[in-house]
Amino acid sequence: MARCILLFAAVWLLGGCSSTVRLMPTPTLFTSDPGLFAAGKDEVADTTIEILYATNRLPIGPANARYYTRVRSNQLRLGVATLRVGDGTTSWEALEAMSTSVVEGERPKITLASTREVAVLDDGTGRPGADDEAFFDEVDALLQRVANRDLVIYVHGANTDFDRAAAQAAQFQHFLGRDAVVMVFAWPSAGTLLRYGRDVMTARRSEPSFAHLLQQLAAHTQAANVNVLAYSAGAMIASPGLARAAGDAEAAGESGRLRLGEIYYAAPDIDFPLFVENLPRYQGQVRRVTGAINLSDRALSFAQWMHRVSRAGRPNLADIDPAQTRWLVDASGRDELDVLSIRPDELPGLPASSHSFWYDHPWVSSDILLKLLFHAPPAARGLSPNSTEFELAFWTFPADYAERLPTVARALKAGRSP
């Protein structure tokens, strides 16, 4: 009985993700200096948000009104999702005000309004068909309309349905000032409370589809960089998928063809030894890898109990061998790997056990936005350096982060060091 109770608690903590998505707390980046919020242009002054999607979920319904099920498919479906902030009566002026200030009370819902499926890729390596080319042309057209020519792929966590995954991605499209192109990789999570074990198996089987997506985007779009933001169990897809895609590129003698930029793991729920094993396989083909960890993360504590090994978002160095430890320590002292330690007692208002700190806390979300917008290293983003007794370098938020943030942001925007 005790084991059943613990199992239920673990799944609730890891997978209570199927609830309604509401606009996340405004990043401190914009509450400290509202002028930095760049979405006030007439052409984007709308409470609807469009994002791209790629999904290996089996669909039902017509192409212009798909419902994506929790059943896995061997095909990758590409399209455009439209989401709405608020109940249809929310004005742009009200949304802009919420996006530049600390607003008390309930935040508006973000709901999926429609989907438009454009193309279907199989899991082979043949040339893209006419529909595929139309989708990639649409991606390039979007990239041409924004100042930031990077493509951001969001890989969601467990127990998340298609609607919620799209809504989470739309939040970052919005707070990136609508001046970026965001895609959600919506893998077929069950989206129900007690299916975490099934989601783990599905995530592992979705990794080849994610690797194939990276390869196709690199080959057929003009994205300057492809950035990846993987949350929780999304790391089970992103980490081995990046390793697979990078390995294929290296085998073909084209190690730079993927154009991988920032790789950000938020509270990664993946076996720590596997995560460390994968890192060297793709680390040389990306600009920078960041792992944001909370050693008090209660959800990952339960995940460790279920998997019998520590998670990358709550790592235990005893789970890896001395050679891997040395590699990790060396990499953390160079530019390509940043360990961001989330210390709840140092971040005002953050619950000690937080698993969703990366969008729940305005400091952390601000740091992610700066990283994605400017490819800036931690010091340039205003973070403080630290190291462990084993000389593992890591970064934390200083006590005066909110005060220094406007200066940091404006320096990055001007292309200089703060």
Look at the alpha carbons of 91, 110, 67, 79 in this order and tell me if their dihedral is positive or negative.
positive
Question: What is d(CA 293, CA 298) in angstroms, rounded to the nearest whole number?
Answer: 12
Percentage of the chain with pLDDT > 70? Answer: 90
25 — pLDDT class (breaks 50, 70, 90) = very high
Question: What is d(CA 103, CA 93) in angstroms, rounded to the nearest whole number?
Answer: 14
The β-bridge partners of 22 are 109
Q: What pLDDT does residue 417 have?
A: 57
Given the structure tokens 């920078």, which residue do they identify?
288
Summarize pLDDT for 80-115 with one digit per residue, the tens: 999 999 988 888 888 988 888 887 678 999 999 999
Single pTM value for the model = 0.93
Mean per-residue pLDDT of the chain = 89
Residue 34 gets which letter from DSSP?
Answer: G
- In whole angstroms, how far apart are CA 410 and each of 93, 180, 269, 382? 24, 18, 34, 12
Q: By CB neighbour count within 10 A (0-12 exposed, 13-18 middle, 19+ buried), where does 411 fall?
A: middle
Q: What pLDDT does residue 1 have?
A: 42
Summarize pLDDT for 280-310 with one digit per residue, the tens: 999 889 999 999 999 999 999 999 999 999 9
326 vs 413, which has greater pLDDT?
Answer: 326
Q: What pLDDT does residue 190 have?
A: 87
Summarize pLDDT for 345-373 with one digit per residue, the tens: 999 999 999 999 999 999 999 999 999 99
Which of 13-22, 81-90, 149-158, 238-247 is the least confident region? 13-22
Question: What is d(CA 145, CA 143) in angstroms, rounded to the nearest whole number?
Answer: 5
**For 158, left (φ over 0), alpha (ψ -120 to 50), or beta?**
beta
Number of neighbours of residue 87 by Cβ within 10 angstroms:
10
Question: What is d(CA 12, CA 358) in angstroms, rounded to the nearest whole number?
Answer: 19
Are the beta carbons of 395 and 340 closer than 8 angstroms?
Answer: yes
CA distance between the termini of the chain: 56
Average pLDDT over residues 321-327: 94
Average pLDDT over residues 210-217: 96
Q: What pLDDT does residue 46 have?
A: 84
Q: What pLDDT does residue 62 have?
A: 87
Number of neighbours of residue 256 by Cβ within 10 angstroms:
11
Q: What pLDDT does residue 123 have?
A: 58
